[in-house]
Amino acid sequence: MSHEKYDVIVAGGGSAGVAAAMASAEAGARTLLIEKYNCLGGASTMRSVNTYCGMYTLEDKPKIIVGGVGARVLSELTQLNAVTGPHRHRGVYVVFDPETVKMVLDKLCQQAGVEVMLGCFVTGAKRQENRVTSVLVADHGGQQTFHAAAFVDCTGDGDLLFQSGAETRYGNDEHVNLGSLGTRFGGIPASVVVAQPDIVSAVKRLKLDKGQVTKDRSVATRLPFSHDLVCYLASADYDPRDAGSMTAAEQDGRRQAWLYLDAIRTIPGCEGAYLVSTGPEFGTRESRHLQSKRMFLWTDVIDGHKFDDCIALGAWGAEWHSREDYSSSFDIQPGGSAYQIPMSCLMSRNTPNLFAAGRLADGDRLGGAAIRVMGTAFATGQASGAAAAQVAEHGDVLSIDMLRKTLISQGAILKTD
């Protein structure tokens, strides 16, 4: 049993978790980042979600609105030619090579002085009165306890929030954004253009019905270097908190992926397509949320609400995928411009030394569907990490002024103009 003591512990090493840990370490806190897989990146490396959305506004002339850690990741990828874009399909995004992302995130965390622990699952947490005091983790050596003064949950599923007794909820008003299995197809020459309408026609040609497959359309991106085609077609209505439900989704998703391969092979030029990988893990768009001090609302975006505690900017629209009929919708903010995100939607209502970020941020159905994307997750992660470092040093009452100064000194963009 280890009883190591940190200033800040971040659970989950996806886009939000990496940004949180780097911001915390760069603010001077001894920081541990705990990730259950053996690489960092979360959805970007483990779910074939290979497009950063939310980094750019959706205006005619897109502006970059994520600075700090997100901008540093993008800059490293650009220097290695591992990113293409910005592209436009619904929104504005860049496409990246996931192997390069793994390497870049390792390097940036190391440079920032983050202590990273891979292959380590947060299984529990202890609390004294209203504060979290430690997390329980499991690896192949057994179980260990790590203590810290402040914590950030970036697990996407809210494991730390839930285990520590912080208030959470699942989805919003019985709505939960649909999950889909990122699937990667190789063997398609770079010169062959595969667009969403080609996929719709291919699924029709094979006469696949809703019983055999779920979605008939998806964004279709081509990766740098390999030119592999990535789609999010096979979908399932499951509960990611339950291993039995998750297993059924994974197995049915893989069955569907082979049918989609048959369909893609009917597109001219794609006859030699093959399956490079599914997932590896099913892509959960929404699970638990933090019950925060102030929920972020889609009407905040529509009304251009200005927050005194703005700590990040968002730019993605409300992207919703229905569990009922597998359709999707994309509502765009007025003018496609940037909108403000408040710190209060990342602060636990009943646990002052615990923060959340990424897809755990407290948003209503459409607000949450907009701020969950990875570009924005870098920004909310950075804010939560810097906030946790401040609380670890100065106590539980967060100074928003001090936090905003720290974020600006770390390169974050907080002004919509």
Ligand X SMILES: Cc1cc2nc3c(=O)[nH]c(=O)nc-3n(C[C@H](O)[C@H](O)[C@H](O)COP(=O)(O)OP(=O)(O)OC[C@H]3O[C@@H](n4cnc5c(N)ncnc54)[C@H](O)[C@@H]3O)c2cc1C
What character string, x for contact with ligand X (CB under 6 A) and - otherwise, covers 115-134? ------xx------------
Q: Is 157 in the site for ligand X (CB under 6 A)?
A: yes
Q: Is 317 in the site for ligand X (CB under 6 A)?
A: no
* Minimum separation from the CB atom of position 395 to ligand X (A): 27
Minimal CA–CA distance to 23: which of 407, 414, 408, 355?
A: 407
| Residue closer to ligand X (CB basis): 34 or 112 | 34
Q: Cα separations (Å) of 368 from 17, 53, 298, 372?
A: 18, 14, 8, 6
Question: Which ranges of 95-184 would DSSP assign to H, the alpha helix?
Answer: 98-112, 159-163
| Residue closer to ligand X (CB basis): 155 or 344 | 155
Task: Give residue number: closest CB to ligand X.
Answer: 358
What character string, x for contact with ligand X (CB under 6 A) and - otherwise, covers 178-217? -xx-x-----------------------------------
User: Using an 8 Å Cβ cutoff, are 23 and 382 in contact?
Assistant: yes
Q: Is 16 in the site for ligand X (CB under 6 A)?
A: yes
Q: Is 54 in the site for ligand X (CB under 6 A)?
A: yes
Q: Is 372 in the site for ligand X (CB under 6 A)?
A: yes
Q: Contacting ligand X (CB under 6 A), which of 29, 32, 36, 413?
A: 36
DSSP, collapsed to helix, strand or coil, labels residue 25 as helix
User: Using an 8 Å Cβ cutoff, are 26 and 392 in contact?
Assistant: no
What character string, x for contact with ligand X (CB under 6 A) and - otherwise, covers 260-289? -----------------------xxx----
Stretch that binds ligand X, among 9-17, 205-213, 254-262, 268-276 (CB under 6 A): 9-17
Q: Is 362 in the site for ligand X (CB under 6 A)?
A: no
CA distance 31 to 28: 9
Q: Binders of ligand X: how many residues, by CB under 6 A? A: 40
| Residue closer to ligand X (CB basis): 157 or 364 | 157
User: Using an 8 Å Cβ cutoff, are 388 and 379 in contact?
Assistant: no
| Residue closer to ligand X (CB basis): 248 or 402 | 248
Stretch that binds ligand X, among 40-48, 105-113, 204-212, 265-273 (CB under 6 A): 40-48
User: Using an 8 Å Cβ cutoff, are 119 and 142 in contact?
Assistant: no
| The residue type at 165 | G
Looking at the chain, how many residues does it have? 417
Instruction: Say if strands 142-153 and 168-170 run parallel, antiparallel, or are unpaired.
Output: unpaired
Helix and strand counts by DSSP (H, E) for the chain: 11, 20
| Residue closer to ligand X (CB basis): 161 or 264 | 161
Report, in angstroms and rounded to the nearest whole number, the Rg of the chain calculated over CA atoms.
Answer: 20
CA distance 397 to 390: 9
What does the block give as tokens for 250? Answer: 């994974």
CA distance 109 to 10: 12
Stretch that binds ligand X, among 10-18, 260-268, 346-354, 387-395 (CB under 6 A): 10-18
What does the block give as tokens for 237? Answer: 């209505």
Q: Is 232 in the site for ligand X (CB under 6 A)?
A: yes
Q: Is 222 in the site for ligand X (CB under 6 A)?
A: no
- Which regions of 298-342 does DSSP assign to beta strands (E)? 310-314, 318-321, 328-331, 339-342
CA distance 155 to 132: 16
Stretch that binds ligand X, among 78-86, 149-157, 167-175, 400-408 (CB under 6 A): 149-157
* Minimum separation from the CB atom of position 74 to ligand X (A): 12
* Minimum separation from the CB atom of position 157 to ligand X (A): 5
Q: Contacting ligand X (CB under 6 A), which of 8, 9, 10, 11?
A: 11
CA–chain centroid gap for 124, Å, is 22
| Residue closer to ligand X (CB basis): 179 or 385 | 179
Q: Which residue has the tokens 């200033």?
A: 7
| Residue closer to ligand X (CB basis): 89 or 306 | 89
Report the interface residues with ligand X, using CB under 6 A.
11-17, 34-37, 42-43, 47, 49, 51-54, 121-122, 154-157, 159, 179-180, 182, 232, 283-285, 358-359, 372-375, 377
